[in-house]
Structure 1
Amino acid sequence: MIQIEIKPSQVTVDERRGTSDKGKDWVMREQKGYIFLGGDYPELIVFPLAEGQPPYEAGLYELTEKCFSVGSYHSLRFSRAFVLRPVTSGK
């Protein structure tokens, strides 16, 4: 199981807005956290939030199945959706 920890200082949304070359407005909403990949220390990551989605609260989370998709030629890839599930104390 891949775990992500969100610290109290990371319960914020970084939002950027702009206009594309074609005149379409865009918004990027992101939050930071730490991912545990088996090394001595976790790695800082930035992940997307859906429009209107509040930031995740501080705590431990795991990646859900919605974070992945199968691409062309059956390759595993990250999907645009990034949904975390709280880790319960029984895990």
Structure 2
Amino acid sequence: MLIVAGHLKVIDRDRYLAQCREVVELARAAPGCLDFGIGPDLVDPDRVNVFERWVGRAEVEAFRGAGTSGELDGQIVGADVREFTYDSETRL
């Protein structure tokens, strides 16, 4: 499995999140997506937290295609997002 987690710094968080709604809906419906969330940070008003869980790399790449749209990219002023792979899990 593949986990994508981290945060983005954006110019206008409320506007950015509103524009991401369709991305979240599409991701959650995509083959191989186990979870996908983008949400506001509770402390930093310019920060958006990102969490994704996928079956594997092929599914992530198929969903991402060419990447985000120019309009969304233009609102991102910083990022620290990383990918993690793992082969076991424990339900809590």
TM bin (shorter chain): under 0.3
More helix by share: 2
Q: TM-score, normalised by structure 1?
A: 0.25
More strand by share: 1
